Amino acid sequence: MKKFPNGFMIGAATAAHQVEGNNVNSDFWAMEQVPNSTYKEPSLDAVDHYHRYKEDIQLLVDAGCDTYRFSIEWARIEPTKGHFNEAEIQHYREVLEFCHLKNVTPIVTLHHFSSPKWLISEGGWESETTIEYFGKYAHYVVSELGHLIPYICTINEANMGKQITKIMIKMSASNTKSSDGDVQVGLNMDTMKARMELYYRSLGETFGIDPRNVHTFLAPKTENGERIIMECHQKARSVIKALNPTIKVGITFSLYDHQALPGGEKFVEKEQHEDLLSYLPYLQEDDFLGVQNYSRKIHGPDGEVLKDENARLTKMGYEYYPEALENVLRFVSKHWDKPIIVTENGISTDSDEDRVEFIERALTGVLQCLDEGIHIIGYTHWSLLDNFEWQLGYAQTFGLIAVDRSTQTRYPKESLSFLGNIKKSGLHSFRELV
């Protein structure tokens, strides 16, 4: 029987806007509500994790898991510029205290895509002022809660804007919509291009600025915007370390497993440089790196190769390929000699048997990497709950727990028990555990 080493963290992850509900002061709430929105539906009450976090964390604990990665919502903490909401910081204090009560290690993300609406009106993620704003937000959170937080991810998928930029360029060049699975986030490719001009015009009116200056985190990024994101990370890290040097600070990246057919090596090298290697100079003082992977991309002599028509796909349109994670971990380890946490890895599917198989194969690969000496210290599956998948709404099902949103009743899946059993007993064949 293969077991993970003592202290290896195993659990699940969520993001505030996707699960809490009623995040009314955020840019995403605004983007979901405007005329001509590219969102298939609004988040509304989401899965009410804001009020039901104890139930959800208890389900995680009952299954045998010991780690919970979640995000603090900036738009709740600072709903208007310079005004910090004491009631909201108290809410997250209670979430953290409950984690500690249940012997759950919290991994906190300070920014998981959604931003305060006011930040976008101030120039958003292309403005120099965002660096100072983010530093002040980090200072407030850590001043209030730092003693309860062992790990902080400053920014989730810092490279996502770059990946979206490449998709937009590809769509513009080909005059077609991008294919499903082109990016590891829920984008509504069906309507994005057709509605983009009208959508941004509506956003300009909502944020009170020129539509060309609507720079949300998931908007296409310039090189200047890329720099600002990474300087936000550095600013937050310096603030956190000054307040509490015991907190381990890192950042997370969206990383595909890029594979080369003969002649495709140059494309793989380019993608790997753009996805991770170009960011490494900003990360030299980090304590860990968060790796987020869902699938692979294959590159031939003419670039990315389309998926085979008979390929096994997930609901998101990704190729079902759990082994991508171990390949990415090996790639990262060649360039990063500090701890790695798998901060996201999972599958959207209506078949929980497929999810169990995915977890078994992915974690078999993680164990193999550990055997090879790669310094991996934790794995948090995406996601704890079926939730709001951004522009795609609630149709996607990544969760270890299903939710009937008409009643907000939770229904733990076999995959949650399976993940917990791995933590408790080691990795068997999944057929023996389910």
Question: Is 319 part of the annotated catalytic residue set?
Answer: no
* CA neighbor of 339 nearest in space, from 288, 303, 304, 378: 288
Dist CA 112 CA 388 (whole Å): 13
Question: Among the options 157, 226, 357, 389, which is catalytic?
Answer: 157
Residue type, 268: V
- What are the DSSP E strand ranges found in 128-264? 151-155, 248-254, 257-260
Cα distances (angstroms) measured from residue 177 to each of 19, 171, 192, 194, 320: 28, 6, 8, 9, 22
Q: Give the angle 171-193-157 at the CA atoms, nearest 5°.
A: 70
Going by the DSSP 8-state scheme, the letter that residue 94 receives in this structure is H
Spatial CB neighbours of 112, under 8 Å, sequence gap ≥ 6 = 15, 16, 17, 71, 156
Paired residues of 304 in beta bridges: 299
Contacts of residue 392, defined as CB under 8 A and 6 or more positions apart, other chains included, come to 40, 186, 187, 188
Token pair recorded at residue 371:
């055997």
The set of catalytic residues is 157
